Structure 1
């Protein structure tokens, strides 16, 4: 439980520029530089999303970043059969005919960001010390352009310097070979890594002898995987894209498709046009869900919008369990009175533990349900009627549900609803877990997991003729703690921004600085390159759009390499870059990993690492031997549209111990928000994707030129005597520690009372490292108890 600590406590932890800097020999490092005053502008909140403004924004950004040709030509290759998989989100592509413009604003920005015409060369690192770079924002770091050659930050050095690839590989090998135990190494994976890179990475780590393989799933949908595995025996969603055209009712829970997954809006529009009702469950109104202007249609480009949301349930932060318990309770009350509501045929044939669920919802008190959810009983009854009268139901969800201390139970409660109505394993119905990064689901399929199952390890042992480690390793959260405690000496990051993705930013920075070597494979600078180990390597790689050429056996013939990814709905498809690389020095991330493994492991196991580095077909042949569902991988991945992986629950086959789906009991979380306190959730702006900041505007929310912002209900502002754009300090309260950020600007926003929204990752310093889900260990980015006070001498406008 959280405890209130006065902000004047000696245990206050701050990360603003006026707080003590971090320095492990490379100079003082700032974690969140203070924004300039006077830049924030607020406009009315939008009630419609996408359309012509999104198209213009996409092209302005693309041309500004990459120039007229490089900024626009790659867009015609995004998500095309002979092109590349969008490096943005994991929303699936149509199986058959695809539009020539099969991308969204966020995808266009991701591609333009990668196609940046600017270059970071050695002269940049000569000019800027690590300390000087840290005084600039994360947006500034990203805007410096593409990395072009390997760089090293040596012990006690203030500047990065060039290093050859061979010397860099040797440096990593020496560090890994010199460890007292393989478990002093850690291998982190971003969800943008391809299947081939992820598979090689996990074989490398296990060949070294460790299962320390944290990945970004640990910080986002780990709760989803745990919930679905427990209840369905399978940790992936069950719907297909075509199911939206057949659905009668669609829930969108804890999700902002208009910003984070804009192509999902098209699927929701198709559902609406086929007669479905759509219910939005979210603490904040989201423009795309209110009115969708489809940019693929003339009407949408001219401003005509489809109202997607039929019912907006504006829950309090962490009000999901009481809300869905209320819907379930109403359904059970009707079933008790007249029968016919619970799908008895499905439940009796395919599920267990219904009686436990029924006892739980019958015992729930309506007063608690209404008070904790923030939704009136009349509106809950209205939604329950929609559920009662429809059989084909889809529930979509994202991080607003999963990133809580009870995130796994949040997911389980609305999966109970699907099971109760038999809305699983049939057309137009099921669970739609909306993943973030383009291959975050594929990484896990490829074996990137700190808790590997015995069948995977047995197959690896047989195929590669080595003894893989059997004990569990560290996930992302426990890796940070282990580094902080000095248990990890080498940290290798395959993409991503581990520092800014983690909660408790100062703690995470201290953890990274406590290692001997940090290595990051990436395309651009980020703050994780500044809060480093005693030594640090930046290994620049090709982007998705860029041509990756291999040399055939004759030593002369060159041909394009292809890689592959898996989307949210379990489709594996090829991705092939065709544009000129940003630098002749760049390697594909897969080749970098294989060469690192060759330098470190040599012939310790039956893997031809250099063969893998030159020909990814060899990696896919190995995947086909190890991972179920990938038989004939090299043949099927070259088919138009790729191929679907097996999904038992989609066929009403549940690989649980009993062979049946399992109902669960999920208690309403205890009340944690006391008088004078707020529940704070983090959100992404319209100009970002995960930790990557494309710009400083949140167009749909009407917030421009600033990210150090607190969105608050006007009545709460009035009660605290705060005015718009006033500077405030925000403190989180957890287990005797007060974490604080200073000088953020408060803005009025339509959010429930005693609730706040702040941007990720700027608000991450407030999120305690110890506040995680008990089942998934996912940090509680979406629910932190905070207080807000006027900054000294501040006044509003």
Structure 2
């Protein structure tokens, strides 16, 4: 695509195929093979000595927080190693000994680099000096830090309104960096703070706030060990949160049941070979899921309604299935729900789910007799048009069973990036919280804006229409993470300036505004010192615990800067040292930031002291059955509509998924061994009946199309793979399929893109003889 600046940049990346191998899926997760892969990746990127130092320090109480997922650390971490294969890959990725600087960009233009895959771009190594792509140029060149800050400040001052700037945040940021960033954005005069949670768990936050009064989960890690039932819905822990498998293993050993609800049967929930014990290394491992409900994509609401309907019938006979004392004391809406459930036809609900009647009855029998129930979920529930209502339906199940606010029970939205929840807790939010603003006035000394800002979807539209002209990203890969890749690329190209605070090269550095800057920053594992004094940062886990993180490795370069320092220097430069906030001093002394966090952010207290070792939990009203902030002071049982996708006869329902060699948009390798796919990502998993109906053969090359609001979108060149997935459902990897996800279709009330339920058609490649499309 040639953009308005005459730069010919491939914003999607190449579509050439590699030598695809397709084998039977592996029957167990982790085990000796995971150890082998861990050592292979870390040794190659970091060398043997640094690998062993890093692996024995990651997630330890005096070490650094894993740069991968947000799964919490146990109170007593294993000294053998408190990490998983993907965490080790993330460590190797950021602590790699490969580096790139201005000389590299003299050799390669952004046009040339854009023809490489995302995997190849990431493999070049760490960015080690600030860079600028000037107007009309196709090569980045070196720039001094101060010149970079001056350039950004000048551009921000030139805007007609602060609302013409967008400030994005990735979950990799620390609490200190995110807080200072949020304060700078507000001091500048806008609430335009989209963040990665807008694209993942925003639906969870909305649903949980509406029903339970807080947008976070209610469980702690230790609750898993003695839970009677754990429901894992729309989540693949074996690939996305592998350390979770240890908690599930303990639950199984203590007699708990695991119910998996997902269109795909994922290896991590079939069998887990824990590499920390003998059974995992040489034995048969632990079978995890007792029951797998292969629900059709986005049909969780009819599934849960059918389960609740049958539980209600049992309860009507002896009133021992539901916790009526809890319902009476702590909830409202019970009688309305029971009446509503009676209005649904069981056969219609069953047909929508695609699950057998026998398996649903098995789930009902398990749930009827148990009350210590945890429901876990991830993107498989949050990225649909009706995601908020889907999550609320699962909350209904927990409320009816009294499984909220007691040990070994509750809600567990499993967050992706390791501090995405912390970012929100310290103030990264596009909406206005008046109590938060009042504390800013009192303790920061400036007047924050009171106008709602824009989220990710709204930011894309604002940049695309020219309403926003500057885009600054604190981490992340916005282009590849957002929906509707073509539209997002055009939006970024419309900007006057784009700024990326980054550790590694990605496609968002190549698809830019008129002027672009790359500001290289520290990784989690790097030693952060100033004037010979060691500094530490803090993170919040998926379960609300604040802990310190201290790196151990020498930084990749003497010419990179920590995130708080980058923000502090930008604030100092922009305000020319004339502002109530001591930006530069706070950027250098993180203790000054934490003192302000304790005063301004809700629930933080004595963070520098309490975040040592095990750390401390932020307040959580749900754990104490305090629903005073909700109507009538009660948890809210809700009535939720059935999904209605109006699929055409020739359409299939696509869900986007990760491979095992991937974390978010970062591609560590080209294999997905758990699903049996090697050396290729451009594949589509299909039920064989759907293949036969369309006369498709294994490895046949097809294009995928979606049509919304009369606009046809196409993802080119995918190879068909026969797979165990319910008829009418297909799956493919993101970000390769993001071009199919329309930017203007998203979850109601949370604006999360519909990446897990996209209506698509399959088209064969154009005939070489006729040149005509064969649409199937």
After TM superposition, is the score higher than 0.5?
Answer: yes
Task: Kindly state the Cα deviation for residue 338 of structure 1 after the two structures are TM-superposed.
Answer: 3.1
Equivalent residue for 2:601, pick from 590, 606, 627: 627
Task: Kindly state the Cα deviation for residue 303 of structure 1 after the two structures are TM-superposed.
Answer: 4.7
Task: Kindly state the Cα deviation for residue 32 of structure 1 after the two structures are TM-superposed.
Answer: 2.3
Aligned: 1:401 with 2:375: no
Tell me how far apart the structure 1 counterparts of residues 675 and 268 of structure 2 sit (CA, whole Å): 11
Q: Is the 8 A contact 2:80 2:276 kept in 1?
A: no
Residue 423 of structure 2: aligned partner: 443
Residue 14 of structure 1: aligned partner: none
Aligned: 1:656 with 2:636: no
Write the deviation string for residues 435-483 of structure 1: whole angstroms up to 9, x where unpaired.
0000000000010000031100010011122110011000011000000
In the TM superposition, what are the counterparts of 1:185-224 in structure 2 within 5 Å? 185-224=165-204
Equivalent residue for 1:540, pick from 505, 517, 520: 520
Aligned: 1:225 with 2:211: no
Residue 325 of structure 1: aligned partner: 305
Aligned: 1:56 with 2:36: yes
| Higher deviation after alignment, 618-627 or 596-605 | 596-605
Tell me how far apart the structure 1 counterparts of residues 453 and 298 of structure 2 sit (CA, whole Å): 30
Tell me how far apart the structure 1 counterparts of residues 636 and 240 of structure 2 sit (CA, whole Å): 31
Task: Kindly state the Cα deviation for residue 328 of structure 1 after the two structures are TM-superposed.
Answer: 0.7
Equivalent residue for 2:555, pick from 569, 578, 581: 581
Task: Kindly state the Cα deviation for residue 793 of structure 1 after the two structures are TM-superposed.
Answer: 4.0
Paired residue secondary structure (2:633): coil
- Structure 1 residues 723, 351: CA separation in 2 closer, same or farther (over 3 Å shift)? same
Residue 436 of structure 2: aligned partner: 456
Tell me how far apart the structure 2 counterparts of residues 242 and 41 of structure 1 sit (CA, whole Å): 41
Equivalent residue for 1:564, pick from 505, 526, 538: 538
Q: Is the 8 A contact 1:40 1:706 kept in 2?
A: yes
In the TM superposition, what are the counterparts of 1:555-704 in structure 2 within 5 Å? 558-638=532-612, 640-654=613-627, 655-704=629-678
- Structure 1 residues 141, 275: CA separation in 2 closer, same or farther (over 3 Å shift)? same
Q: Is the 8 A contact 1:79 1:85 kept in 2?
A: yes
Paired residue secondary structure (2:602): coil
In the TM superposition, what are the counterparts of 1:58-97 in structure 2 within 5 Å? 58-97=38-77
Residue 339 of structure 1: aligned partner: 319
Task: Kindly state the Cα deviation for residue 431 of structure 1 after the two structures are TM-superposed.
Answer: 0.5
| Higher deviation after alignment, 43-52 or 204-213 | 43-52
Residue 380 of structure 1: aligned partner: 360
Residue 403 of structure 2: aligned partner: 423
Residue 170 of structure 1: aligned partner: 150
Equivalent residue for 2:25, pick from 45, 48, 55: 45
Residue 13 of structure 2: aligned partner: 33
Residue 107 of structure 1: aligned partner: 87
Write the deviation string for residues 188-233 of structure 1: whole angstroms up to 9, x where unpaired.
0000100000000000000000000000000000000000000001
Task: Kindly state the Cα deviation for residue 794 of structure 1 after the two structures are TM-superposed.
Answer: 8.3
* Structure 1 residue runs without a partner (length 5+): 1-20, 552-557
Residue 121 of structure 1: aligned partner: 101
Q: Is the 8 A contact 1:26 1:155 kept in 2?
A: no
In the TM superposition, what are the counterparts of 1:334-373 in structure 2 within 5 Å? 334-373=314-353
Task: Kindly state the Cα deviation for residue 589 of structure 1 after the two structures are TM-superposed.
Answer: 1.0
Equivalent residue for 2:734, pick from 751, 760, 769: 760
Paired residue secondary structure (1:67): helix
Tell me how far apart the structure 1 counterparts of residues 547 and 60 of structure 2 sit (CA, whole Å): 10
Q: Is the 8 A contact 1:26 1:131 kept in 2?
A: no
Q: Is the 8 A contact 1:709 1:745 kept in 2?
A: yes
Equivalent residue for 2:471, pick from 491, 514, 522: 491
Tell me how far apart the structure 1 counterparts of residues 96 and 716 of structure 2 sit (CA, whole Å): 33
Tell me how far apart the structure 2 counterparts of residues 644 and 790 of structure 1 sit (CA, whole Å): 54
Task: Kindly state the Cα deviation for residue 247 of structure 1 after the two structures are TM-superposed.
Answer: 0.6
Tell me how far apart the structure 1 counterparts of residues 266 and 83 of structure 2 sit (CA, whole Å): 20
| Higher deviation after alignment, 216-225 or 737-746 | 737-746
Write the deviation string for residues 249-290 of structure 1: whole angstroms up to 9, x where unpaired.
110000000000000000000000100010000001100100
Paired residue secondary structure (2:215): coil
Residue 774 of structure 2: aligned partner: none
Paired residue secondary structure (1:77): coil
Task: Kindly state the Cα deviation for residue 51 of structure 1 after the two structures are TM-superposed.
Answer: 0.5
Paired residue secondary structure (2:223): helix
Residue 688 of structure 2: aligned partner: 714
Paired residue secondary structure (2:632): coil
Task: Kindly state the Cα deviation for residue 100 of structure 1 after the two structures are TM-superposed.
Answer: 3.3
Tell me how far apart the structure 2 counterparts of residues 97 and 68 of structure 1 sit (CA, whole Å): 23
Task: Kindly state the Cα deviation for residue 378 of structure 1 after the two structures are TM-superposed.
Answer: 2.5
Residue 773 of structure 2: aligned partner: none
Q: Is the 8 A contact 1:150 1:538 kept in 2?
A: yes
Tell me how far apart the structure 1 counterparts of residues 697 and 91 of structure 2 sit (CA, whole Å): 39
Residue 728 of structure 1: aligned partner: 702
Aligned: 1:138 with 2:111: no
Q: Is the 8 A contact 2:56 2:79 kept in 1?
A: no
Equivalent residue for 1:287, pick from 264, 267, 285: 267
Tell me how far apart the structure 1 counterparts of residues 642 and 264 of structure 2 sit (CA, whole Å): 21
Q: Is the 8 A contact 2:233 2:380 kept in 1?
A: yes
Task: Kindly state the Cα deviation for residue 590 of structure 1 after the two structures are TM-superposed.
Answer: 1.2
Task: Kindly state the Cα deviation for residue 671 of structure 1 after the two structures are TM-superposed.
Answer: 3.9
Write the deviation string for residues 589-618 of structure 1: whole angstroms up to 9, x where unpaired.
111111111111234532111111111000
Paired residue secondary structure (1:658): helix
Task: Kindly state the Cα deviation for residue 339 of structure 1 after the two structures are TM-superposed.
Answer: 2.1
| Higher deviation after alignment, 153-162 or 377-386 | 377-386
Paired residue secondary structure (2:389): helix
- Structure 1 residues 752, 102: CA separation in 2 closer, same or farther (over 3 Å shift)? same
Residue 13 of structure 1: aligned partner: none
Q: Is the 8 A contact 1:728 1:746 kept in 2?
A: yes
Tell me how far apart the structure 1 counterparts of residues 43 and 304 of structure 2 sit (CA, whole Å): 45
Query: How many residues end up aligned between the 2 structures?
Result: 768
Q: Is the 8 A contact 1:357 1:665 kept in 2?
A: yes
Task: Kindly state the Cα deviation for residue 33 of structure 1 after the two structures are TM-superposed.
Answer: 2.9
Task: Kindly state the Cα deviation for residue 414 of structure 1 after the two structures are TM-superposed.
Answer: 0.5
Q: Is the 8 A contact 2:18 2:680 kept in 1?
A: no
Task: Kindly state the Cα deviation for residue 99 of structure 1 after the two structures are TM-superposed.
Answer: 3.2
Write the deviation string for residues 724-778 of structure 1: whole angstroms up to 9, x where unpaired.
1110011012111110012111111100111110101000000001110111000
Q: Is the 8 A contact 2:568 2:588 kept in 1?
A: no
Tell me how far apart the structure 2 counterparts of residues 756 and 604 of structure 1 sit (CA, whole Å): 57
- Structure 1 residues 143, 97: CA separation in 2 closer, same or farther (over 3 Å shift)? closer
RMSD (Å), alpha carbons? 1.2
Tell me how far apart the structure 2 counterparts of residues 680 and 543 of structure 1 sit (CA, whole Å): 35
Paired residue secondary structure (1:697): coil
Tell me how far apart the structure 2 counterparts of residues 734 and 709 of structure 1 sit (CA, whole Å): 23
- Structure 1 residues 152, 230: CA separation in 2 closer, same or farther (over 3 Å shift)? same
Aligned: 1:783 with 2:746: no
- Structure 1 residues 666, 99: CA separation in 2 closer, same or farther (over 3 Å shift)? farther
Q: Is the 8 A contact 2:163 2:468 kept in 1?
A: yes
Equivalent residue for 1:771, pick from 718, 730, 745: 745
Write the deviation string for residues 478-534 of structure 1: whole angstroms up to 9, x where unpaired.
000000010111111000000000111000000001010000001011000111001
Q: Is the 8 A contact 2:84 2:243 kept in 1?
A: yes
Tell me how far apart the structure 1 counterparts of residues 18 and 326 of structure 2 sit (CA, whole Å): 60
Task: Kindly state the Cα deviation for residue 26 of structure 1 after the two structures are TM-superposed.
Answer: 5.2
Q: Is the 8 A contact 2:15 2:716 kept in 1?
A: no
| Higher deviation after alignment, 25-34 or 180-189 | 25-34
Tell me how far apart the structure 2 counterparts of residues 663 and 137 of structure 1 sit (CA, whole Å): 47
Tell me how far apart the structure 2 counterparts of residues 168 and 463 of structure 1 sit (CA, whole Å): 30
Residue 450 of structure 2: aligned partner: 470
Tell me how far apart the structure 1 counterparts of residues 127 and 17 of structure 2 sit (CA, whole Å): 31
Q: Is the 8 A contact 2:445 2:581 kept in 1?
A: no
- Structure 1 residues 465, 657: CA separation in 2 closer, same or farther (over 3 Å shift)? farther
Task: Kindly state the Cα deviation for residue 341 of structure 1 after the two structures are TM-superposed.
Answer: 1.8
